[in-house]
Every structure is written in structure tokens, then in C-alpha cells.
């Protein structure tokens, strides 16, 4: 049987076919949330610019609760929530963030993205929270991680914590630009992060590069106005913004996509003093 179309080409609904659909909350595929800006590794070319952070910077748990409440009002579920950084295990209240995420989204897959170096020192509060909420570790396999991999695996196995260890990391991608003219083309042809919906300051962004680059703009001497930044995110305090609006907008380019390049390069993984050429393609 042929199905009637529900959505027009311009994204609006065929009201005669789907009068009730707009009242159903959609499911959001994925979000990332940064629980610590700083990191115990200072990787050159870190795409969250954690190697530029000089002091500890952790969000308040009450702000996280507010944001998840706003999300739960718009989405019936989120398939995956990743708590990350920086290095999330530097946040001593990480267990609270894990429990709050599970409280608001009972069906979500919750993961903590970490370099793993602090896993063997995880306290009982975090271990219990992870077990109670079926949260797992996503372990990025940097060279220092490989040196203590047996300790990490032993700890997780003994504590019965789920974990996955990624492939060895030997290089980072360079993909920033000082302003491609056609941000629509960048989004369509070369975006690597448009499935990495990022939550920060009660605002959703199509990727983490947008808010993190804005916060580091003085370091890179680039011009991004507050008004442009505002227009590149979706503030969840806006009562007129529904889940379907968000889903549609996340599939479209934003003006700050111009700071990603149409081409990519590589930088060998290393720790050292940050240089602009670690990120930007000339």
C-alpha cells in the first residue's frame, strides 16, 4: 500500500494527512555533553580545544538538570548520551551527571568518553552510578592509555563495568579554516561532525566545533559576533521551539560551518605547546 506523504519539501506538514503527528515528540538520535573542559592530556589539535583550558571548568549539575528537563519536554527519548570533555573523570561529581541522565531518559544508551588514564582511580560513587544506570566507558586509545591498558581492563572487569576500547589513535584530523565562503557546501560535502549534536549552556548545536571555537576565538583571532553565535544554536529555553523544529534544523547548515575546511589534513598525535597550525589548514 502506498503511503501518503507527511512532510512537504519545505519541511512543513500536510495537515490533512497528519493532524496529530506534530503532537508526538520525536526521538533525538544523539547528544554530547561536556562535563569537564580541561584534560589531563594536552593533545595537540584537540577538537574540543581542551589543551587551551588553563583552569578547571565544570558545569553545575543544576544546569544539566534544567537542560535535560527541556530536552525531555521535546523528545520522547534520546538514543545515545555521551558525557565527555576534556576528560570527564576530572569532574568529581560525574556520578550525579550519570544518574540525572538516566532519570530523564530511561531508555538512552549512556557512555562516558575518556582517555582511560583515571579509570583505575574511579571512586565507588561513580562505579555504583555506572552499574545502577548501565552506563559504559568509551575509551579513546591514546599512546599513554595503551601503557596502562591492562590495569584499565582489570579494573572494569573486577567492578563489572561495561567498556569499549577504540582503535589506537596515532593522528588527529586538521579541518579548521579561517572562513570558507560557502558554508552550505562545507556542510554538505565535508562535514564530519553533523551527527554530533552538542549540548552546552542549555543550547543545542549541530556540532561541538561551533561553541568551542567561539569560546577560543581570541586565541585564534577570528571574528564571531555574539548575535551570529546566538543564531548558530537552538536555545532550549525558547518555548516556541519544539522537537520537530530541532530535528529539521540539525539537518541544515549554520553560518559558522564556514570555519571548517572543504579539505582535511593530519597531525601526528603528540603532546606539546598548542599552535594554530595544529587545527587550521592554510
pLDDT in tens, 182-238: 888 988 888 876 689 999 999 999 999 999 999 999 999 999 999 999 999 999 999
Structural domains in the chain plus CATH codes: 28-278 (3.20.20)
Share of the chain above pLDDT 90, in %: 81
Whether 122 and 91 have beta carbons less than 8 Å apart is answered as no
- Tell me the average pLDDT across 141-154: 98
Summarised one tens digit per residue, pLDDT across range 63-107 is 999 999 999 999 999 999 999 999 999 999 999 999 999 999 999
Q: How far is CA 269 from CA 99, 116, 179, 220, 237, in A?
A: 34, 17, 25, 21, 39
Cα Dmax for the chain:
62
Selected residue with higher pLDDT from 161 and 21: 161
pLDDT tens by residue, 37-70: 999 999 999 989 999 999 999 999 999 999 999 9
Alpha helices (H) along the chain:
61-74, 94-104, 124-133, 143-147, 149-159, 183-189, 209-215, 217-220, 226-231, 243-249
CB atoms within 10 A of CB 259: 24
Model pLDDT, residue 13: 62
The answer to whether residue 18 scores a pLDDT higher than 50 is yes
CB of 125 within 8 A of CB of 131?
Answer: no
Task: Report how far residue 239's alpha carbon sits from residue 103's, in angstroms, rounded to the nearest whole number.
Answer: 22
**1, pLDDT greater than 50:** no
Helix (H) or strand (E) holding 259: none
Question: What is the rounded average pLDDT for all residues in the chain?
Answer: 92
pLDDT tier at 115, thresholds 50, 70, 90 = very high
What CA–CA distance (Å, rounded) separates 282 from 269?
Answer: 19
pLDDT of residue 180: 73
pLDDT at 248: 93
Look at residue 171 and tell me whether its pLDDT is greater than 70: yes
Amino acid at each position: 500500500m502506498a503511503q501518503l506523504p507527511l512532510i512537504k519539501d519545505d519541511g512543513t506538514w500536510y495537515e490533512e494527512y497528519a493532524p496529530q503527528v506534530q503532537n508526538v515528540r520525536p526521538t533525538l538520535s544523539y547528544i554530547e555533553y561536556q562535563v569537564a573542559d580541561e584534560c589531563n592530556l594536552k593533545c595537540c589539535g584537540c577538537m574540543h580545544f581542551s589543551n587551551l583550558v588553563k583552569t578547571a571548568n565544570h558545569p553545575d549539575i543544576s544546569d544539566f538538570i534544567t537542560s535535560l528537563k527541556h530536552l525531555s519536554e521535546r523528545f520522547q527519548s534520546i538514543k545515545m548520551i555521551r558525557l565527555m570533555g576534556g576528560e570527564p573523570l576530572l569532574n568529581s561529581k560525574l556520578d550525579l551527571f550519570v544518574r540525572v541522565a538516566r532519570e530523564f531518559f530511561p531508555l538512552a544508551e549512556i557512555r562516558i568518553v575518556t582517555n582511560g588514564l583515571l579509570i583505575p582511580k574511579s571512586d565507588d560513587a561513580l562505579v555504583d552510578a555506572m552499574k545502577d544506570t548501565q552506563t559504559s566507558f568509551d575509551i579513546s586509545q591514546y599512546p599513554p592509555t595503551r601503557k596502562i591498558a591492562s590495569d584499565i581492563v582489570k579494573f572494569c572487569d573486577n567492578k563489572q563495568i561495561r567498556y569499549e576500547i577504540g582503535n589506537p589513535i596515532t593522528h588527529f584530523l586538521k579541518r579548521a579554516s579561517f572562513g570558507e565562503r560557502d558554508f552550505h557546501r562545507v556542510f554538505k560535502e565535508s562535514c564530519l561532525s553533523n551527527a554530533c549534536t552538542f549540548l552546552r549552556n542549555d543550547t543545542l548545536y549541530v556540532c561541538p566545533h561551533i561553541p568551542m571555537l567561539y569560546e577560543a576565538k581570541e586565541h585564534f583571532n577570528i571574528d564571531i559576533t555574539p548575535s551570529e553565535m546566538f543564531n548558530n544554536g537552538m536555545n532550549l529555553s525558547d518555548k516556541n521551539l519544539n522537537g520537530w523544529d530541532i530535528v529539521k534544523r540539525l539537518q541544515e547548515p549554520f553560518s559558522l560551518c564556514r570555519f571548517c575546511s572543504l579539505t582535511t589534513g593530519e597531525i601526528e598525535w603528540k603532546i606539546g605547546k598548542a599552535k594554530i597550525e595544529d587545527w587550521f589548514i592554510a
